[in-house]
Amino acid sequence: MLGGTAEARALASALTGHGVPVVSSLAGRVAEPRLPEGEVRIGGFGGPDGLARWLAGERVAAVVDATHPFAERIGASAATAAARAGVPLLRLQRPGWRPGPGDDWHWADSLGAAARLLPALGTRVFLTSGRQGLAAFAHLDRLWFLIRCVDPPEPPLPPQSEVLLSRGPYRAADEAELLRRHRIDVLVTKDSGGTMTRGKLDAARQLGVPVVVVRRPVRPRVSEVTEVNDALTWALERVTGWPGEKSAPAAR
């Protein structure tokens, strides 16, 4: 399991509940990650060749890529490595967000493109794109930024900024209060999807705040599902012959 998301943790829990050995691989970018059930491996594999060797050496029966929608590098490595190792691969990816009535969304293809949109939209920015890639906004010295991330970001940062270290989930009412308190007039987010951080979008709609949304990167085309239960069925069929069998052999 290539994990780090809530969906990955839910799937790991479900699989271990069926007696299936699971190794969850985390990138190690968060200092204190929420750990899933089962065995946990932290750190990279050395690219697709290293991952392919690990899959073969561990006799892995199936791989689920349940990483963040913006984990572009590991997604590409997983597709290449699984093909080389002859291991079936499934991507478990939550659906992206979609604007609704009353939303004022502006789509961008990258963080750099998002930064170019900001001067025309506002002067006080709530930046929720994570701590990676903040250099794209560092030249915007006439704007003020509230930067929210889990771990402290590294420079360069925008010269006028405040860092808020926090971890979701977030309620819409709390997000609206945060926007009011900091007089936010534009929000920046990646199209992460899911419910844990959607509250900021609901708050922005409520307050009439425009939102810059960074599109998801294009990832290799592999079999994909959006629901944990569908991924569970796929994995059990490949590891245990489920639903015919109830006891699961070792996956490695």
* Residue 140 and residue 80 in one domain: no
* Residue 79 and residue 155 in one domain: no
Helices (H), the chain: 6-17, 47-57, 72-85, 111-117, 172-181, 199-207, 228-239
The answer to whether residue 186 sits within a structural domain is yes
Q: What is the pLDDT of residue 247?
A: 40
Q: How far is CA 6 from CA 62, 92, 100, 143, 213, in A?
A: 20, 11, 24, 33, 21
* Residue 74 and residue 115 in one domain: no
Give the CB-side neighbour count of residue 214, counting CA atoms within 13 A.
23
The answer to whether residue 245 sits within a structural domain is no
* Residue 90 and residue 110 in one domain: no
- Rounded percentage of the chain residues whose pLDDT exceeds 90: 86
* Residue 14 and residue 73 in one domain: yes
Count of domains forming the chain? 2
* Residue 120 and residue 191 in one domain: yes
Q: What is the pLDDT of residue 244?
A: 38
Q: How far apart are the first and last CA of the chain?
A: 13
Taking the model in full, what pTM does it have?
A: 0.87
* Residue 231 and residue 207 in one domain: no
CATH code for the domain in which residue 56 is found: 3.40.50
Q: Where in the sequence is the domain holding 126, given as residue range(s)?
A: 105-214
User: Rounded mean pLDDT of the chain?
Assistant: 92
* Residue 64 and residue 78 in one domain: yes
Q: What is the pLDDT of residue 246?
A: 42
* Residue 142 and residue 235 in one domain: no
Give the tens place of pLDDT for each residue, 106-157.
Answer: 999 999 999 999 999 999 999 999 999 999 999 999 999 999 999 999 999 9
The answer to whether residue 247 sits within a structural domain is no
CATH code for the domain in which residue 134 is found: 3.40.50.720
* Residue 204 and residue 231 in one domain: no
Sites in the chain below the pLDDT cut of 70: 29, 31, 241-252
The answer to whether residue 1 sits within a structural domain is no
The answer to whether residue 62 sits within a structural domain is yes
Q: In whole angstroms, what is the distance from residue 81 CA to residue 76 CA?
A: 9
